[in-house]
Structure 1
């Protein structure tokens, strides 16, 4: 691949990763706003902590829906058009979440109806997140050359974490120097509305990217597919890849989900479930509250969240530069071990009521271990392990399972913490150990393989 081809594939990859940035932005914006939403919409009406947990996690309901429908949309309308639809949903959700009173309610008068409308807009954004979480890595995986595919798909995770870091800064900037009353009345609204800028940019830039060659070939648009493959890989390599794609589509005319066996589907689902059961989104969604529980002031807790965001970015970069050299399995195993150490240490500190810098250190050990492994590598594997014919459907099921697991973990966290912090963090530590054993025993190494090689990989099993 010459410099010109490389520049082209990196450009379209970066545009696709804006879906990941919005994924991170939308899911993390709640971290700065959730206490104000609790005060404005929940406590003001005398509602319980269960309602708070459901409201904080309501976008995840949309994420499950988005994940489930991503396969149908990707297969029927293409990867590109489906991402454009996700961009529209992000835009509408940002405006609606910031001003849920639009048309039907009076500002300054929180009601059950207003709470439901807020959740409705968050669910719309969640559908966008669910679509982007499945389609952005799928898109990148289908356009990227095999030798740098892991690195390029990992850029999507970098974009997710960068989106979270950006919104941590945005939330901190909005809250800094303001009174709690102002934040609870106006500040949280601005946090949500700020998402319209990246959402609008994503929607516009998507007009500049092509549809993926694998999708075009699937729809019998082979000439167009070859043109894009040539632009990405050069003429000689493009013809070889096109030959493999046609062969893979010819060998398996069935698009049934289990036409390659159940094992590949189960492994994809378990990769997704373990990525969430280790508890990462508890650290991301409730970060300021966690740091406040350690004794930090509100401004300081937001700042510590920003520091954690920087750590997340740095260790995601580590994954980007090692995934195509070390392979997928070693990174996942090392990451699981690091997460187990971090979570069991936090559980021990919580048991003895020790709060302070040590808790922050082990939280960073935990999140850094996740960001260099399960964060990016899960998306890499989900984008590449499924054969061409079933990729749309299989990715949709894996992603929907991931968001369902995410919702379960995030919505139960407040109630679990009320019962026992030590028990809660110990459960996440146990899940980290189980994730290590699962990868070691069942997950195949896919480094350097073409997407068409995956069919042979699963046919042998």
Structure 2
């Protein structure tokens, strides 16, 4: 509590909350299209009928709807490519404001698509919004980590995931037929993301730019000092933070290109860590459940959509738990606990799925296992996979690292959304064994190779990797979580 009292100021909190409004938008458009899917498909079909005086063929309608849903993730993959240019050219805060216009334009196109009777406008809107997703989910943790004090860095970065999960739940609720998921109001439902988008334009311009960006990237020490003083509220500790930034700047190259990023010797181990943590997190089953939980529950429950709301609520609840535990338990411990629980849940779900037709009462156990898996994911692998890249790299490589991590995240989501339905048709519940294997791999890799970053400055973490071919991570005092 003393740490919070020392470092938590109103402006710091405002800066973090203003930034995560972007993640709230991303989550909202992730969760709001599942429930009204048939209604929006009906709009596609009616538009086609009005144009050509015939109904759209079923296979074409299915393909068009799949394109509409998946094009957001494809746009996100493309958006990741612009993170370095924006973040290093315009700054972290300004870049968030710039990309926010993609959200506004994208949501506006989705809204007007019904009025102008154009499903092309809805698809284009989701593509533009996807570009926003890929950019903002990298820029947000980048900005948050660089404005936060070391003692709160991980907890505040976790708020990005809290906002994302909260947006998913809000989207699920708004998409219900009893809310806005109706034939008359579905396009109004898609417009609600404009509220946090416009709120971001109201609050974020008054928040300071990242002091670390100002000092290390731009060489503007006076501006960095002023921004840091505004964020911390008092001169105590500001000098020490500035000295730590100068130390990092002294060791860092002025700039690192994409090719140089993958060639630089001191980046090799962090790249491997980011790759393994992100892929094992994304391919451990969470995204399959988020995308297809309603379908999973429909076999045994009439009101499956309300159980899906339960999934969304548990998702939010445990991101909040992760927020409070992140600076107490540390990254490594939460990753290890999360991965091992996910592995056990996937194993048990395989068993339950194989016998649930013979013993329908086990359907309730299946729901419980789904809730447990969601909880374990959000306890560690979920939030940490989004921000660990920002902690493992120095300032010149940090923006590329965040873009790389974001591409792995969105690529994993896209791959799982694409492969899970055919996997279920081919091997059924044994699909969960594949997810279990990924979770076990994530646990083993974390145990042997992932260092603890809790309570350590960026320069201290970078020192572990600097100029080393084989890194003696096991010799670091903070590496073994359990000692």
Q: TM-score over 0.5 for the alignment? A: yes
Q: More deviation in 276-285 or 287-296?
A: 287-296
Residue in structure 2 matched with residue 47 of structure 1 by the alignment: 59
Residue in structure 2 matched with residue 219 of structure 1 by the alignment: 218
What secondary structure is seen at the aligned counterpart in 2 of 1:446?
A: coil
> What is the Cα deviation at residue 101 of structure 1?
5.4
Q: Tell whether the 8 Å contact from 2:322 to 2:380 is kept in structure 1 after alignment.
A: yes
Residue in structure 2 matched with residue 110 of structure 1 by the alignment: none
> What is the Cα deviation at residue 331 of structure 1?
0.6
Residue in structure 2 matched with residue 303 of structure 1 by the alignment: 306
Q: Does 1:191 align with 2:189?
A: yes
Structure 2 residues not aligned, in runs of 5+: 46-54, 472-483
The separation in 2 between residues aligned to 1:212 and 1:329, in whole angstroms, is 27
Q: Tell whether the 8 Å contact from 1:162 to 1:313 is kept in structure 2 after alignment.
A: yes
What secondary structure is seen at the aligned counterpart in 2 of 1:153?
A: helix
Q: Tell whether the 8 Å contact from 1:98 to 1:189 is kept in structure 2 after alignment.
A: yes
Q: Tell whether the 8 Å contact from 2:278 to 2:409 is kept in structure 1 after alignment.
A: yes
Q: Matches of residues 258-297 of structure 1 in structure 2 within 5 Å?
A: 258-259=263-264, 260-296=266-302
The number of aligned residues is 443
Q: Does 1:229 align with 2:232?
A: no
The separation in 1 between residues aligned to 2:142 and 2:119, in whole angstroms, is 35
Residue in structure 2 matched with residue 431 of structure 1 by the alignment: 438
Q: More deviation in 236-245 or 140-149?
A: 236-245
Q: Tell whether the 8 Å contact from 1:137 to 1:379 is kept in structure 2 after alignment.
A: yes
The separation in 1 between residues aligned to 2:7 and 2:283, in whole angstroms, is 42
> What is the Cα deviation at residue 321 of structure 1?
1.3
Residue in structure 1 matched with residue 350 of structure 2 by the alignment: 347
> What is the Cα deviation at residue 116 of structure 1?
4.6
Residue in structure 2 matched with residue 15 of structure 1 by the alignment: 18
The separation in 2 between residues aligned to 1:385 and 1:238, in whole angstroms, is 23
Q: Tell whether the 8 Å contact from 1:31 to 1:284 is kept in structure 2 after alignment.
A: no
Q: Tell whether the 8 Å contact from 1:331 to 1:373 is kept in structure 2 after alignment.
A: yes
Q: More relative contact order in 1 or in 2 (CA 8 Å, sep 6+)?
A: 1
The separation in 1 between residues aligned to 2:166 and 2:319, in whole angstroms, is 10
What secondary structure is seen at the aligned counterpart in 2 of 1:444?
A: coil
The separation in 1 between residues aligned to 2:63 and 2:228, in whole angstroms, is 51
Cα displacement string for residues 380-417 of structure 1 (whole angstroms, at most 9, x for unaligned residues): 31221111121011111121122112111112223333
The separation in 2 between residues aligned to 1:10 and 1:340, in whole angstroms, is 36
The separation in 2 between residues aligned to 1:192 and 1:94, in whole angstroms, is 7
Residue in structure 1 matched with residue 413 of structure 2 by the alignment: 406
Q: Tell whether the 8 Å contact from 1:245 to 1:452 is kept in structure 2 after alignment.
A: yes
Q: Does 1:155 align with 2:137?
A: no
What secondary structure is seen at the aligned counterpart in 1 of 2:59?
A: coil
The separation in 1 between residues aligned to 2:9 and 2:169, in whole angstroms, is 28
> What is the Cα deviation at residue 35 of structure 1?
3.9
The separation in 2 between residues aligned to 1:186 and 1:70, in whole angstroms, is 38
Q: Matches of residues 304-343 of structure 1 in structure 2 within 5 Å?
A: 304-343=307-346
Question: Structure 1 236/71 Cα, relative in aligned 2: closer, same or farther at 3 Å?
Answer: same
Question: Structure 1 400/187 Cα, relative in aligned 2: closer, same or farther at 3 Å?
Answer: same
Q: More deviation in 78-87 or 413-422?
A: 413-422
RMSD (Å), alpha carbons: 2.3
The separation in 2 between residues aligned to 1:41 and 1:4, in whole angstroms, is 52
Cα displacement string for residues 242-282 of structure 1 (whole angstroms, at most 9, x for unaligned residues): 12212222222253314323121222222222221112222
> What is the Cα deviation at residue 129 of structure 1?
1.1
TM-score normalised by length of structure 2:
0.85
Cα displacement string for residues 120-161 of structure 1 (whole angstroms, at most 9, x for unaligned residues): 211111111111110111111001100111111111111111
Cα displacement string for residues 80-106 of structure 1 (whole angstroms, at most 9, x for unaligned residues): 121112321112222222333566xxx
TM-score normalised by length of structure 1:
0.89
Structure 1 residues not aligned, in runs of 5+: 108-113
The separation in 1 between residues aligned to 2:161 and 2:413, in whole angstroms, is 16
Question: Structure 1 202/347 Cα, relative in aligned 2: closer, same or farther at 3 Å?
Answer: farther
Residue in structure 2 matched with residue 371 of structure 1 by the alignment: 378
> What is the Cα deviation at residue 38 of structure 1?
4.2
> What is the Cα deviation at residue 45 of structure 1?
3.2
Q: More deviation in 254-263 or 194-203?
A: 254-263
> What is the Cα deviation at residue 446 of structure 1?
0.4
Cα displacement string for residues 390-448 of structure 1 (whole angstroms, at most 9, x for unaligned residues): 10111111211221121111122233333343132222222111111121122111010
Q: Tell whether the 8 Å contact from 2:252 to 2:395 is kept in structure 1 after alignment.
A: no
Residue in structure 2 matched with residue 111 of structure 1 by the alignment: none
Residue in structure 2 matched with residue 201 of structure 1 by the alignment: 199
Q: Tell whether the 8 Å contact from 1:388 to 1:452 is kept in structure 2 after alignment.
A: no
> What is the Cα deviation at residue 118 of structure 1?
2.8
Q: More deviation in 410-419 or 310-319?
A: 410-419
Q: Does 1:242 align with 2:253?
A: no
